[in-house]
Homo-oligomer: A and B are copies of this chain.
Amino acid sequence: MLERFPAWRISLSAALHHNRSQPQSRYVQLATVRKNGQPANRTLVFRGFLEHRDQLQFITDQRSAKVEQIAEHSWGEICWYFAKTREQFRILGKLSLISAEEDNSELQTVRHTLWQNLSDKARSQFTWPHPAKSRESESERFDTNLSADIPPSSYFCLLLLTPSEVDHLTLRGNPQNRWKYWQNQDLIWQSQAVNP
């Protein structure tokens, strides 16, 4: 059976394809809101779409400040700039965290698979001392290799973004082009060309 993707996802897949020579084309900036109402913003690596879903996968350490922020305010917006094709996607949506305690067995399986697919170096970061706390001086606390045979760290979380609005801007073209995408009440994606 053919899957039907929303139009924004087809444009995003094209951008990922055309920019694939640049590893940083899979890096996005995620904005969240802190407990005190101030915004926060950091770079994350896009880990593909959840199978048969339009949800974007990321990973995070449960000790990271964003986990506390998301527990309070579950909305996030990623900004994704593709340097080679000079286009930007802004994706607003709800964030959900799949931790070691997740009961949904399908999502728990996805969490395990993502853990196994990480590099040894990326995996090892979840065994490091508490992020953003005063620097630990013993370098042996920062192992840089952790084999895939080790089960997922209890700090290792899957982070899902469920898009509800997308803004796509292309700087190429004369003038630029910009489209808005949103879901109607039946969750059907709508789109409109707007002024850049």
Complex: chain B residue closest to A177, CB-CB: B135
Question: Which residues does chain B contribute within 8 Å of A144, judged by CB atoms?
Answer: 174-175
Tell me if B129 and A195 are in contact (CB < 8 A): yes
Q: Which of B33, B76, B195 contacts A131 (CB 8 A)?
A: B195
Query: A77–B39 contact, CB under 8 A?
Result: yes
Report copies per complex: 2
Report A123 CB to chain B, min CB distance, Å. Answer: 13
Q: How far is the CA of A92 from the CA of B76 in the complex (A)?
A: 17
**Could you tell me the distance between the alpha carbons of A76 and B193 in the complex, rounded to whole angstroms?**
28
- What is the bound-complex CA distance between A174 and B88, given in angstroms? 32
Binding site for B on A (CB under 8 A): 22, 24, 27, 29-33, 37-43, 73, 75-79, 81, 83, 88, 90, 92, 125, 128-136, 139, 142, 144, 167, 174-175, 178, 180, 192-196
